[in-house]
Structure 1
């Protein structure tokens, strides 16, 4: 985690070590809902092992927004940052080993230290750029291009996540996704 954060923005070691010391280990089995729609996200997570998905339900159907896996943050960020009820679910796909910190402690530490505040501004900027890029891919690329981009960025997920979940994430009909995966050489 320290290397991951330091690669984003270099913070004084003493400050960063203190901040990381407040993150607690948290293990959770696969197919467990970590955050429910309508509940407020009280923690931000750092993924050490495992995969999680964030999704919303529409007429009982899951629409996947993102997958989180090592090394990355996980959680329903807008609920965490605003401390308002989530509109989404966060669920483990596999057994997951995480680190987590509460909103209260996280806020206290970044308010106390300008370097941590800058680090998390940069993390938020990266998160926003990722959302913009994803939106661009969904709007500008056809299904084949979206699939190819996904396999370039995260090829390991093809064997770890159900095809229906990847199809939902890429906004591809599951039947078309099945045909696509069988026709494109990876």
Structure 2
């Protein structure tokens, strides 16, 4: 985690060590809903192992928003940052191990150390940029381009996540996803 955070913003070693000492280990079995729609996200997670998905349900169908896996943050970011009810669910796809920090402790350390606040401002900027790029990709690209971009970014997920979930994430009909899987060289 220290290496991951240092790529976002360099923080003095003693401050970073203090911050990291406040994160605790947390394990969750596969197929566990960690955050329910309507709940407020009380923790920010750093994925050590496993895969998770964020999704909402409309007309009894899951619509995948994001996958998280090591090394990355996980949780419902806007619910955590605003301490507001979540609009969607966070579920483990596989057995998952995390480090986590409470909202209260995170806020306390950001108030105490300007460099921690800067680190998470930059992390939030990256999240916003990635979210807008994903939105653009969904709106501007055809299904084959979306499929190719995804398989170049995260090819390992093809073997670890159901194709139904991947099709939902890419906003592709599952039958078209299967056709692309057979037709597009990865």
Query: Which TM class, normalised by the smaller chain length?
Result: over 0.9
Is residue 47 of structure 1 aligned with residue 58 of structure 2?
no
Offset of residue 175 of structure 1 = 1.0
Q: Which runs of 4+ in 1 moved over 4 A?
A: none
CA distance in 1, matches of 2:120, 2:184: 39
3-state DSSP of counterpart to 1:3: helix
Q: Does 1:128 align with 2:131?
A: no
- Name 1:146's counterpart in structure 2: 146
Deviations along 1:126-152, whole A, 9 cap, x unmatched? 000000110110011000000000000
Q: Which runs of 5+ in 1 are unaligned?
A: none
Distance 1:85 1:128 in 2: 19
CA–CA distance in structure 1, aligned partners of residues 39 and 156 of structure 2: 31
1:63-121 CA distance string (max 9 Å, x none): 00000000000000000000011001000000001000000000011011100000000
Q: Residue by residue, what CA displacement relative to the aligned partner does 1:37-72 show, whole Å, maximum 9, x if unpaired?
A: 000000000000000000001011100000000000
- Structure 1-normalised TM-score? 0.99
Q: Which residue of 1 aligns with 2:67?
A: 67
Cα offset, 1:157, TM superposition: 0.6
Structure 1 vs Structure 2 CA RMSD: 0.5
Structure 2 regions of 5+ residues with no counterpart? none
TM-score, normalised by the number of residues in structure 2: 0.99
Partner of 1:112: 112
Distance in 2 (CA, whole Å) between partners of 1:100 and 1:89 is: 18
